[in-house]
Structure 1
Amino acid sequence: MNPVWIVGAGPGAPDLLTLRAARLIEQAEVLVWTDSLVNPQIAALAPPHCERIRTSTLTLEQVLELLVDRARAGRRVVRLHDGDPCLYGALAEQVCRLADSGLDVEVVPGLSAYQATAAALGRELTIPGLVQTIVLGRAGGRTGVPERESLARLAALRASLCLYLSARHVEEVQAELLRHYPADTPVAIGYRVSWPDQQITVVPLADMARVSRELSLIRTTLYVVSAALAAPQQARSRLYSASHRHLFRGGAPEDDAPPHQPPAAASAASP
Protein backbone atom coordinates (compact mmCIF):
# COMPACT_ATOMS: atom_id res chain seq x y z
CA MET A 1 0.00 0.00 0.00
CA ASN A 2 1.27 3.46 -0.86
CA PRO A 3 2.04 5.88 1.96
CA VAL A 4 0.15 9.11 2.31
CA TRP A 5 2.36 11.97 1.22
CA ILE A 6 2.06 15.20 3.20
CA VAL A 7 3.63 17.81 0.95
CA GLY A 8 4.64 21.40 1.55
CA ALA A 9 3.55 23.76 -1.24
CA GLY A 10 5.87 26.55 -0.12
CA PRO A 11 4.79 30.18 0.31
CA GLY A 12 2.81 30.48 -2.91
CA ALA A 13 4.83 30.76 -6.11
CA PRO A 14 4.72 27.49 -8.09
CA ASP A 15 8.41 27.74 -8.97
CA LEU A 16 9.30 27.71 -5.26
CA LEU A 17 8.09 24.12 -4.94
CA THR A 18 10.78 21.56 -4.30
CA LEU A 19 11.41 19.12 -7.15
CA ARG A 20 10.17 16.27 -4.95
CA ALA A 21 6.94 18.10 -4.15
CA ALA A 22 6.28 18.88 -7.81
CA ARG A 23 6.90 15.25 -8.82
CA LEU A 24 4.49 13.90 -6.20
CA ILE A 25 1.74 16.35 -7.17
CA GLU A 26 2.17 15.45 -10.83
CA GLN A 27 1.76 11.75 -9.93
CA ALA A 28 -1.14 12.15 -7.50
CA GLU A 29 -4.37 10.22 -7.92
CA VAL A 30 -6.01 12.10 -5.05
CA LEU A 31 -5.02 15.65 -4.09
CA VAL A 32 -6.37 16.87 -0.76
CA TRP A 33 -5.34 20.49 -0.73
CA THR A 34 -5.67 23.59 1.44
CA ASP A 35 -7.45 25.72 -1.15
CA SER A 36 -7.75 28.73 1.16
CA LEU A 37 -3.96 29.08 1.36
CA VAL A 38 -2.33 27.17 -1.53
CA ASN A 39 -1.95 28.76 -4.95
CA PRO A 40 -4.43 27.09 -7.39
CA GLN A 41 -1.63 26.96 -9.98
CA ILE A 42 0.11 24.43 -7.76
CA ALA A 43 -2.97 22.23 -7.46
CA ALA A 44 -3.31 22.46 -11.26
CA LEU A 45 -0.04 20.50 -11.59
CA ALA A 46 -1.96 17.33 -10.69
CA PRO A 47 -2.93 15.18 -13.71
CA PRO A 48 -6.41 15.48 -15.29
CA HIS A 49 -7.63 12.18 -13.82
CA CYS A 50 -6.67 13.22 -10.27
CA GLU A 51 -9.48 13.65 -7.74
CA ARG A 52 -9.05 17.12 -6.23
CA ILE A 53 -10.57 17.69 -2.79
CA ARG A 54 -10.63 21.19 -1.28
CA THR A 55 -10.37 21.37 2.51
CA SER A 56 -11.38 24.97 3.33
CA THR A 57 -14.88 23.87 4.43
CA LEU A 58 -13.83 20.61 6.10
CA THR A 59 -12.88 19.80 9.69
CA LEU A 60 -9.62 18.02 10.41
CA GLU A 61 -11.59 14.86 11.23
CA GLN A 62 -13.26 14.96 7.82
CA VAL A 63 -9.93 15.48 6.09
CA LEU A 64 -8.44 12.51 7.91
CA GLU A 65 -11.41 10.33 7.02
CA LEU A 66 -10.86 11.16 3.35
CA LEU A 67 -7.14 10.45 3.54
CA VAL A 68 -7.68 7.07 5.18
CA ASP A 69 -10.47 6.07 2.80
CA ARG A 70 -8.59 6.92 -0.38
CA ALA A 71 -5.28 5.47 0.81
CA ARG A 72 -6.90 2.16 1.84
CA ALA A 73 -8.39 1.99 -1.65
CA GLY A 74 -4.82 1.83 -2.95
CA ARG A 75 -4.71 5.29 -4.51
CA ARG A 76 -1.73 7.67 -4.48
CA VAL A 77 -2.83 10.33 -1.98
CA VAL A 78 -1.12 13.71 -1.61
CA ARG A 79 -2.13 15.99 1.24
CA LEU A 80 -0.96 19.43 0.09
CA HIS A 81 -0.21 22.03 2.77
CA ASP A 82 0.78 25.67 2.42
CA GLY A 83 4.33 26.55 3.43
CA ASP A 84 6.12 23.83 5.35
CA PRO A 85 3.80 21.22 6.93
CA CYS A 86 6.13 21.01 9.93
CA LEU A 87 5.19 24.58 10.92
CA TYR A 88 1.65 25.23 12.22
CA GLY A 89 0.24 22.57 9.93
CA ALA A 90 -1.58 20.17 12.31
CA LEU A 91 0.98 17.62 11.14
CA ALA A 92 1.20 15.74 14.43
CA GLU A 93 -2.54 14.98 14.52
CA GLN A 94 -2.54 13.76 10.93
CA VAL A 95 0.50 11.52 11.31
CA CYS A 96 -0.89 9.97 14.50
CA ARG A 97 -4.31 9.24 13.01
CA LEU A 98 -2.85 7.83 9.81
CA ALA A 99 -0.46 5.64 11.78
CA ASP A 100 -3.34 4.40 13.96
CA SER A 101 -5.09 3.46 10.71
CA GLY A 102 -2.09 1.38 9.63
CA LEU A 103 -0.90 3.85 7.01
CA ASP A 104 2.64 5.02 6.47
CA VAL A 105 3.31 8.74 6.01
CA GLU A 106 6.05 10.55 4.15
CA VAL A 107 6.50 14.29 4.74
CA VAL A 108 7.99 16.57 2.10
CA PRO A 109 9.19 19.94 3.44
CA GLY A 110 8.33 23.23 1.81
CA LEU A 111 9.97 26.62 1.74
CA SER A 112 8.59 28.76 4.56
CA ALA A 113 7.33 32.33 4.28
CA TYR A 114 10.10 33.72 6.50
CA GLN A 115 12.70 32.43 4.05
CA ALA A 116 10.82 33.81 1.06
CA THR A 117 10.45 37.17 2.80
CA ALA A 118 14.15 37.48 3.61
CA ALA A 119 15.04 36.45 0.05
CA ALA A 120 12.64 38.97 -1.47
CA LEU A 121 14.32 41.70 0.59
CA GLY A 122 17.80 40.43 -0.22
CA ARG A 123 18.59 40.26 3.49
CA GLU A 124 20.36 37.76 5.69
CA LEU A 125 18.76 37.22 9.09
CA THR A 126 21.99 36.10 10.79
CA ILE A 127 24.61 38.87 10.71
CA PRO A 128 27.98 38.30 12.43
CA GLY A 129 28.34 40.38 15.56
CA LEU A 130 24.69 41.48 15.43
CA VAL A 131 22.30 38.52 15.51
CA GLN A 132 22.92 34.80 15.07
CA THR A 133 19.58 33.31 16.07
CA ILE A 134 16.25 33.04 14.26
CA VAL A 135 13.11 32.40 16.32
CA LEU A 136 9.87 31.22 14.73
CA GLY A 137 6.85 31.94 16.90
CA ARG A 138 3.34 33.32 17.11
CA ALA A 139 1.06 35.38 19.31
CA GLY A 140 -1.08 33.35 21.71
CA GLY A 141 -4.49 33.89 20.16
CA ARG A 142 -7.15 31.22 20.58
CA THR A 143 -4.65 28.37 20.30
CA GLY A 144 -2.41 29.79 22.99
CA VAL A 145 1.26 29.05 23.61
CA PRO A 146 3.04 27.52 26.61
CA GLU A 147 4.04 30.16 29.18
CA ARG A 148 7.71 29.29 28.68
CA GLU A 149 7.26 30.32 25.02
CA SER A 150 5.39 33.55 25.69
CA LEU A 151 6.09 36.46 23.38
CA ALA A 152 7.83 38.25 26.24
CA ARG A 153 10.33 35.41 26.59
CA LEU A 154 10.93 35.19 22.84
CA ALA A 155 11.35 38.93 22.45
CA ALA A 156 13.81 39.10 25.34
CA LEU A 157 16.35 37.31 23.12
CA ARG A 158 16.24 40.20 20.61
CA ALA A 159 16.92 37.62 17.91
CA SER A 160 15.53 37.72 14.37
CA LEU A 161 11.93 37.04 15.36
CA CYS A 162 9.51 35.67 12.75
CA LEU A 163 5.89 35.79 13.87
CA TYR A 164 3.18 33.78 12.15
CA LEU A 165 -0.58 33.93 12.76
CA SER A 166 -0.30 37.18 14.69
CA ALA A 167 -1.84 39.92 12.55
CA ARG A 168 -5.18 39.85 14.42
CA HIS A 169 -3.32 40.67 17.63
CA VAL A 170 -0.83 43.16 16.23
CA GLU A 171 -1.45 45.92 18.80
CA GLU A 172 -0.70 43.60 21.71
CA VAL A 173 2.26 42.13 19.83
CA GLN A 174 3.76 45.55 19.15
CA ALA A 175 3.32 46.66 22.76
CA GLU A 176 5.17 43.58 24.03
CA LEU A 177 7.95 43.82 21.46
CA LEU A 178 8.58 47.47 22.38
CA ARG A 179 9.46 46.32 25.88
CA HIS A 180 12.50 44.52 24.45
CA TYR A 181 13.44 45.89 21.01
CA PRO A 182 14.28 49.54 20.23
CA ALA A 183 11.36 51.40 18.64
CA ASP A 184 13.33 51.87 15.40
CA THR A 185 14.00 48.12 14.93
CA PRO A 186 13.01 47.24 11.35
CA VAL A 187 9.96 45.04 10.91
CA ALA A 188 9.18 43.40 7.57
CA ILE A 189 5.43 42.97 7.14
CA GLY A 190 4.89 40.29 4.52
CA TYR A 191 1.48 39.60 3.00
CA ARG A 192 0.98 36.66 0.60
CA VAL A 193 4.71 36.48 0.05
CA SER A 194 5.68 35.21 -3.43
CA TRP A 195 2.08 35.47 -4.75
CA PRO A 196 1.34 37.89 -7.63
CA ASP A 197 -0.25 40.34 -5.16
CA GLN A 198 2.60 40.10 -2.66
CA GLN A 199 3.16 43.05 -0.34
CA ILE A 200 6.31 43.41 1.74
CA THR A 201 6.68 46.61 3.72
CA VAL A 202 9.57 47.40 6.07
CA VAL A 203 8.67 49.82 8.85
CA PRO A 204 10.03 50.74 12.29
CA LEU A 205 8.65 48.61 15.10
CA ALA A 206 6.82 51.66 16.45
CA ASP A 207 4.70 51.71 13.26
CA MET A 208 4.03 47.97 13.02
CA ALA A 209 0.42 48.03 14.25
CA ARG A 210 -0.58 51.23 12.48
CA VAL A 211 0.67 50.06 9.08
CA SER A 212 -0.90 46.62 9.53
CA ARG A 213 -4.27 48.22 10.16
CA GLU A 214 -3.89 50.64 7.27
CA LEU A 215 -3.26 47.66 5.00
CA SER A 216 -6.20 45.76 6.55
CA LEU A 217 -4.05 42.73 7.30
CA ILE A 218 -5.63 39.98 9.36
CA ARG A 219 -4.40 36.75 7.73
CA THR A 220 -1.63 35.31 5.48
CA THR A 221 0.67 37.83 7.13
CA LEU A 222 4.17 37.30 8.52
CA TYR A 223 6.21 39.69 10.66
CA VAL A 224 10.00 39.55 10.66
CA VAL A 225 11.46 41.67 13.45
CA SER A 226 15.21 42.01 13.19
CA ALA A 227 18.07 44.47 13.40
CA ALA A 228 19.56 42.43 10.55
CA LEU A 229 17.12 44.08 8.13
CA ALA A 230 19.12 47.28 8.52
CA ALA A 231 22.53 45.76 9.11
CA PRO A 232 25.60 47.72 7.97
CA GLN A 233 26.88 46.53 4.63
CA GLN A 234 30.39 45.96 5.98
CA ALA A 235 29.19 43.10 8.18
CA ARG A 236 30.67 39.87 6.86
CA SER A 237 30.95 36.25 7.79
CA ARG A 238 34.24 35.16 9.30
CA LEU A 239 33.93 31.87 7.42
CA TYR A 240 34.83 33.62 4.16
CA SER A 241 37.52 35.86 5.60
CA ALA A 242 40.99 35.41 4.09
CA SER A 243 42.33 34.99 7.65
CA HIS A 244 40.04 32.06 8.41
CA ARG A 245 41.64 28.64 7.90
CA HIS A 246 39.52 25.53 7.56
CA LEU A 247 39.57 22.07 6.01
CA PHE A 248 39.13 23.27 2.41
CA ARG A 249 41.14 26.48 2.41
CA GLY A 250 44.44 27.43 3.99
CA GLY A 251 45.06 30.74 5.70
CA ALA A 252 46.05 32.22 9.02
CA PRO A 253 45.08 30.19 12.09
CA GLU A 254 41.81 31.05 13.79
CA ASP A 255 42.10 33.48 16.70
CA ASP A 256 41.03 30.83 19.17
CA ALA A 257 43.09 27.97 17.68
CA PRO A 258 45.71 26.48 20.02
CA PRO A 259 49.27 27.54 19.21
CA HIS A 260 51.49 25.06 17.40
CA GLN A 261 53.81 23.08 19.63
CA PRO A 262 57.32 24.56 19.42
CA PRO A 263 59.98 22.29 17.84
CA ALA A 264 62.00 22.13 21.07
CA ALA A 265 59.08 20.81 23.03
CA ALA A 266 58.32 18.31 20.31
CA SER A 267 61.91 17.08 20.37
CA ALA A 268 61.88 16.75 24.13
CA ALA A 269 58.79 14.61 23.93
CA SER A 270 60.37 12.25 21.41
CA PRO A 271 62.00 9.06 22.65
Structure 2
Amino acid sequence: MKMKVVFVGAGPGDPELLTLRGKRELENADVVIYAGSLVPKEILKYARSDAIVIDSYGKTREDLFALYAEFAKAGKRVVRLHTGDLSFYSAILEQMAFLSSMDIDFELVPGVTAFSAASASLKRELTSPGVSQTLIITKPFGKTGKPAEESIAELSKHSATMVIFLGVHILDEVVSELRVGYPPDTPVAVVHKASWTEERIIRGSLDDIAEKVKKEGIKSQSVIIVGAVLEKSGVSKLYGGSVS
Protein backbone atom coordinates (compact mmCIF):
# COMPACT_ATOMS: atom_id res chain seq x y z
CA MET A 1 0.00 0.00 0.00
CA LYS A 2 1.01 3.62 -0.55
CA MET A 3 3.22 5.23 2.11
CA LYS A 4 1.07 7.37 4.37
CA VAL A 5 0.72 8.44 7.99
CA VAL A 6 -2.74 7.64 9.32
CA PHE A 7 -3.80 9.24 12.59
CA VAL A 8 -6.30 6.92 14.25
CA GLY A 9 -8.54 7.80 17.18
CA ALA A 10 -8.16 4.67 19.30
CA GLY A 11 -11.29 5.33 21.32
CA PRO A 12 -11.65 5.64 25.10
CA GLY A 13 -9.98 2.39 26.10
CA ASP A 14 -12.13 -0.66 25.44
CA PRO A 15 -10.58 -2.36 22.36
CA GLU A 16 -14.09 -3.17 21.12
CA LEU A 17 -14.78 0.56 20.82
CA LEU A 18 -12.07 0.95 18.19
CA THR A 19 -13.85 1.68 14.90
CA LEU A 20 -13.86 -0.83 12.06
CA ARG A 21 -11.90 1.67 9.97
CA GLY A 22 -9.34 2.07 12.74
CA LYS A 23 -8.98 -1.70 13.02
CA ARG A 24 -8.43 -2.00 9.26
CA GLU A 25 -5.76 0.69 9.32
CA LEU A 26 -3.95 -1.15 12.11
CA GLU A 27 -4.08 -4.39 10.14
CA ASN A 28 -2.52 -2.65 7.13
CA ALA A 29 0.18 -0.73 9.00
CA ASP A 30 3.90 -1.39 8.64
CA VAL A 31 4.55 0.78 11.69
CA VAL A 32 2.35 1.55 14.70
CA ILE A 33 3.22 4.44 17.01
CA TYR A 34 0.99 4.56 20.07
CA ALA A 35 0.75 6.55 23.30
CA GLY A 36 1.52 3.78 25.77
CA SER A 37 0.41 5.77 28.80
CA LEU A 38 -3.09 6.27 27.35
CA VAL A 39 -3.81 3.59 24.75
CA PRO A 40 -4.33 0.03 26.07
CA LYS A 41 -1.88 -2.51 24.66
CA GLU A 42 -4.83 -4.81 23.91
CA ILE A 43 -5.62 -2.64 20.90
CA LEU A 44 -2.26 -3.59 19.41
CA LYS A 45 -3.53 -7.14 18.86
CA TYR A 46 -5.01 -5.89 15.59
CA ALA A 47 -1.57 -4.96 14.25
CA ARG A 48 0.33 -7.38 12.01
CA SER A 49 2.81 -9.66 13.73
CA ASP A 50 5.61 -8.20 11.59
CA ALA A 51 4.66 -4.56 12.22
CA ILE A 52 7.13 -2.27 13.97
CA VAL A 53 5.44 -1.13 17.20
CA ILE A 54 6.76 1.96 18.99
CA ASP A 55 5.59 3.43 22.31
CA SER A 56 5.69 7.23 22.05
CA TYR A 57 5.72 7.70 25.82
CA GLY A 58 8.67 9.92 26.73
CA LYS A 59 9.38 10.92 23.14
CA THR A 60 9.46 14.58 22.14
CA ARG A 61 7.67 16.10 19.18
CA GLU A 62 11.00 16.23 17.36
CA ASP A 63 11.51 12.52 18.02
CA LEU A 64 8.17 11.79 16.35
CA PHE A 65 9.03 14.02 13.40
CA ALA A 66 12.29 12.11 12.94
CA LEU A 67 10.40 8.81 12.96
CA TYR A 68 7.90 10.05 10.38
CA ALA A 69 10.74 11.20 8.11
CA GLU A 70 12.62 7.92 8.55
CA PHE A 71 9.63 5.72 7.74
CA ALA A 72 8.51 7.94 4.88
CA LYS A 73 11.92 7.53 3.29
CA ALA A 74 11.59 3.76 3.73
CA GLY A 75 8.13 3.77 2.14
CA LYS A 76 6.41 2.49 5.28
CA ARG A 77 2.72 2.95 6.07
CA VAL A 78 2.45 4.40 9.59
CA VAL A 79 -0.48 4.41 11.99
CA ARG A 80 -0.27 6.95 14.79
CA LEU A 81 -2.68 5.88 17.54
CA HIS A 82 -4.13 8.65 19.69
CA THR A 83 -6.51 8.13 22.59
CA GLY A 84 -10.19 8.99 22.12
CA ASP A 85 -11.08 11.12 19.12
CA LEU A 86 -8.78 13.36 17.11
CA SER A 87 -11.02 16.42 16.89
CA PHE A 88 -10.02 17.98 20.22
CA TYR A 89 -7.09 17.89 22.69
CA SER A 90 -5.23 15.44 20.48
CA ALA A 91 -2.12 17.57 19.77
CA ILE A 92 -1.97 16.61 16.10
CA LEU A 93 -1.86 20.10 14.54
CA GLU A 94 1.92 20.35 14.73
CA GLN A 95 2.30 16.79 13.44
CA MET A 96 0.09 17.51 10.44
CA ALA A 97 1.97 20.74 9.74
CA PHE A 98 5.27 18.84 9.76
CA LEU A 99 3.96 16.14 7.43
CA SER A 100 2.63 18.79 5.04
CA SER A 101 5.99 20.59 5.07
CA MET A 102 7.70 17.31 4.14
CA ASP A 103 5.09 16.49 1.50
CA ILE A 104 4.18 13.30 3.36
CA ASP A 105 0.61 12.14 2.75
CA PHE A 106 -1.61 11.71 5.81
CA GLU A 107 -5.22 11.24 6.81
CA LEU A 108 -7.37 11.15 9.95
CA VAL A 109 -9.65 8.41 11.24
CA PRO A 110 -12.05 9.58 13.98
CA GLY A 111 -12.62 7.63 17.17
CA VAL A 112 -15.12 7.30 20.02
CA THR A 113 -14.62 10.02 22.63
CA ALA A 114 -14.06 9.43 26.33
CA PHE A 115 -17.09 11.53 27.20
CA SER A 116 -19.26 9.39 24.93
CA ALA A 117 -18.07 6.31 26.80
CA ALA A 118 -18.62 8.09 30.12
CA SER A 119 -22.16 9.04 29.09
CA ALA A 120 -22.86 5.41 28.21
CA SER A 121 -21.48 4.20 31.55
CA LEU A 122 -23.63 6.74 33.38
CA LYS A 123 -26.63 5.73 31.26
CA ARG A 124 -27.42 9.39 30.69
CA GLU A 125 -27.94 11.52 27.60
CA LEU A 126 -25.95 14.74 27.95
CA THR A 127 -28.69 16.86 26.39
CA SER A 128 -32.33 16.74 27.42
CA PRO A 129 -35.37 18.80 26.34
CA GLY A 130 -36.25 21.45 28.89
CA VAL A 131 -33.11 20.71 30.91
CA SER A 132 -30.11 21.45 28.68
CA GLN A 133 -29.72 21.43 24.92
CA THR A 134 -26.14 22.67 24.95
CA LEU A 135 -22.94 20.74 25.64
CA ILE A 136 -19.72 22.58 26.49
CA ILE A 137 -16.42 20.70 26.18
CA THR A 138 -13.49 22.39 27.87
CA LYS A 139 -10.47 22.03 30.13
CA PRO A 140 -8.75 24.18 32.78
CA PHE A 141 -6.09 26.70 31.85
CA GLY A 142 -2.83 24.86 31.22
CA LYS A 143 0.41 25.20 29.31
CA THR A 144 -1.50 25.99 26.11
CA GLY A 145 -3.56 28.76 27.69
CA LYS A 146 -6.90 30.01 26.37
CA PRO A 147 -8.92 33.24 26.15
CA ALA A 148 -10.22 34.59 29.47
CA GLU A 149 -13.80 34.43 28.20
CA GLU A 150 -13.35 30.66 27.87
CA SER A 151 -12.49 30.12 31.52
CA ILE A 152 -14.57 27.51 33.32
CA ALA A 153 -15.96 30.29 35.52
CA GLU A 154 -17.24 32.22 32.50
CA LEU A 155 -18.56 29.12 30.75
CA SER A 156 -20.40 28.04 33.89
CA LYS A 157 -22.69 31.06 33.55
CA HIS A 158 -24.43 29.33 30.63
CA SER A 159 -25.72 26.61 32.99
CA ALA A 160 -25.36 24.12 30.13
CA THR A 161 -24.07 20.57 30.48
CA MET A 162 -20.29 20.79 30.77
CA VAL A 163 -17.66 18.14 30.06
CA ILE A 164 -14.23 18.88 31.51
CA PHE A 165 -11.06 17.09 30.46
CA LEU A 166 -7.64 17.19 32.12
CA GLY A 167 -8.90 18.70 35.35
CA VAL A 168 -9.42 15.98 37.94
CA HIS A 169 -5.97 16.56 39.49
CA ILE A 170 -7.02 20.13 40.37
CA LEU A 171 -10.67 19.39 41.09
CA ASP A 172 -10.84 21.85 44.00
CA GLU A 173 -9.93 24.69 41.63
CA VAL A 174 -12.32 23.44 38.97
CA VAL A 175 -15.20 23.27 41.45
CA SER A 176 -14.41 26.78 42.66
CA GLU A 177 -14.80 28.07 39.10
CA LEU A 178 -17.94 26.03 38.47
CA ARG A 179 -19.60 27.59 41.52
CA VAL A 180 -19.58 30.96 39.73
CA GLY A 181 -22.48 29.87 37.53
CA TYR A 182 -23.88 26.60 38.90
CA PRO A 183 -25.71 26.20 42.25
CA PRO A 184 -23.96 24.11 44.94
CA ASP A 185 -26.35 21.17 44.51
CA THR A 186 -25.58 20.78 40.78
CA PRO A 187 -24.97 17.09 39.99
CA VAL A 188 -21.41 16.10 39.04
CA ALA A 189 -20.01 12.79 37.86
CA VAL A 190 -16.34 11.88 37.55
CA VAL A 191 -15.69 8.88 35.32
CA HIS A 192 -12.18 7.48 35.63
CA LYS A 193 -10.89 5.42 32.68
CA ALA A 194 -14.26 5.29 30.95
CA SER A 195 -14.82 1.90 29.25
CA TRP A 196 -11.61 0.37 30.69
CA THR A 197 -11.87 -2.66 32.96
CA GLU A 198 -10.57 -0.35 35.72
CA GLU A 199 -13.39 2.15 35.17
CA ARG A 200 -14.66 3.91 38.28
CA ILE A 201 -17.60 6.29 38.64
CA ILE A 202 -17.91 8.84 41.43
CA ARG A 203 -21.17 10.78 41.68
CA GLY A 204 -21.90 13.81 43.80
CA SER A 205 -22.61 17.51 43.63
CA LEU A 206 -20.46 20.61 43.57
CA ASP A 207 -20.70 20.53 47.36
CA ASP A 208 -18.98 17.19 47.85
CA ILE A 209 -17.48 15.83 44.60
CA ALA A 210 -13.94 17.10 45.26
CA GLU A 211 -13.80 15.37 48.65
CA LYS A 212 -15.26 12.14 47.26
CA VAL A 213 -12.73 12.01 44.42
CA LYS A 214 -9.88 12.82 46.78
CA LYS A 215 -10.87 9.87 48.99
CA GLU A 216 -10.79 7.58 45.94
CA GLY A 217 -7.25 8.74 45.11
CA ILE A 218 -8.10 9.57 41.50
CA LYS A 219 -5.73 12.09 39.92
CA SER A 220 -5.74 11.42 36.16
CA GLN A 221 -7.48 9.94 33.11
CA SER A 222 -10.93 11.13 34.13
CA VAL A 223 -13.82 12.99 32.56
CA ILE A 224 -15.79 15.43 34.71
CA ILE A 225 -19.43 15.89 33.70
CA VAL A 226 -21.49 18.67 35.25
CA GLY A 227 -25.16 19.50 34.88
CA ALA A 228 -28.77 18.85 35.73
CA VAL A 229 -29.06 16.25 32.94
CA LEU A 230 -27.30 13.80 35.24
CA GLU A 231 -30.50 13.62 37.28
CA LYS A 232 -33.30 15.25 35.28
CA SER A 233 -34.82 14.23 31.96
CA GLY A 234 -37.19 15.99 29.61
CA VAL A 235 -39.37 14.42 26.94
CA SER A 236 -38.22 14.61 23.33
CA LYS A 237 -40.80 15.55 20.70
CA LEU A 238 -38.58 14.27 17.91
CA TYR A 239 -40.62 11.12 17.48
CA GLY A 240 -43.95 12.56 18.58
CA GLY A 241 -47.11 12.01 16.56
CA SER A 242 -46.92 15.44 14.94
CA VAL A 243 -43.50 14.81 13.40
CA SER A 244 -43.59 13.62 9.79
TM bracket (short chain): over 0.9
TM-score by length of 2: 0.96
Matched, 1:238 2:228: no
What one-letter code is carried by the residue in structure 2 that aligns with 1:240?
A: Y
Question: What's the offset of the Cα at 1:86?
Answer: 2.0
Tell me how far apart the structure 2 counterparts of residues 209 and 121 of structure 1 sit (CA, whole Å): 18
Question: Which structure carries more relative contact order (alpha carbon 8 Å, separation 6+)?
Answer: 2
Larger Rg: 1
TM-fit CA distance, 1:142: 3.1
For 1:44, what is the secondary structure of its paired residue?
helix
- What is the CA–CA distance in structure 1 between the aligned matches of 2:91 and 2:194, rounded to whole Å? 21
Matching residue's letter, 2:24: R
Equivalent AA in structure 1 for residue 89 of structure 2: Y
Q: Does 1:150 align with 2:137?
A: no
Which digits, 9 at most, give the CA deviation of each residue in 1:119-141, with x for residues without a partner? 11111111001100111100113
Q: 1:43 — aligned with what?
A: 44
Question: Which deviates further from its counterpart, 4-13 or 117-126?
Answer: 117-126
1:64 Cα deviation after fit: 1.9
Name stretches of at least 5 consecutive residues in structure 1 with no aligned partner: 250-271
CA contact (8 A) 1:98 1:105 kept: yes
Q: Distance in 2 between matches of 1:66 and 1:237?
A: 50
- Residue type of the partner of 1:18? T
Q: Which amino acid aligns with 1:239?
A: L
1: CA distance between counterparts of 2:21 and 2:68? 20
Measured after TM superposition, the shift of residue 150 of structure 1 is: 1.1
**Secondary structure of the residue that 1:93 maps to in structure 2?**
helix
Secondary structure of 1:131 counterpart: coil
Q: Say whether 1:132 aligns with 2:137.
A: no
Correspondence list, 1:67-78, <5 A: 67-78=68-79
Runs of 4+ with deviation above 4 angstroms: none
The one-letter amino acid of 2:76's match is R
Deviates more, 1:203-212 or 1:21-30: 203-212
Which residue does 2:207 correspond to in 1? 206
How many residue pairs match? The answer is 243
**Cα deviation code 1:181-207 (max 9, x no counterpart):** 111111110111101110012211211
Aligned counterpart, 1:87? 88
**Residue in 1 that maps onto 2:64:** 63
CA RMSD, Structure 1 to Structure 2 (Å): 1.2
Distance 1:224 1:142 in 2: 22
Residue aligned with 1:142, SS: coil
Structure 1 equivalent of residue 21 of structure 2: 20
What is the distance in 1 between the residues matched to 2:42 and 2:50?
16
Is the 8 Å Cα contact of residues 141 and 169 (structure 1) preserved in structure 2? no
1:215 partner letter: E
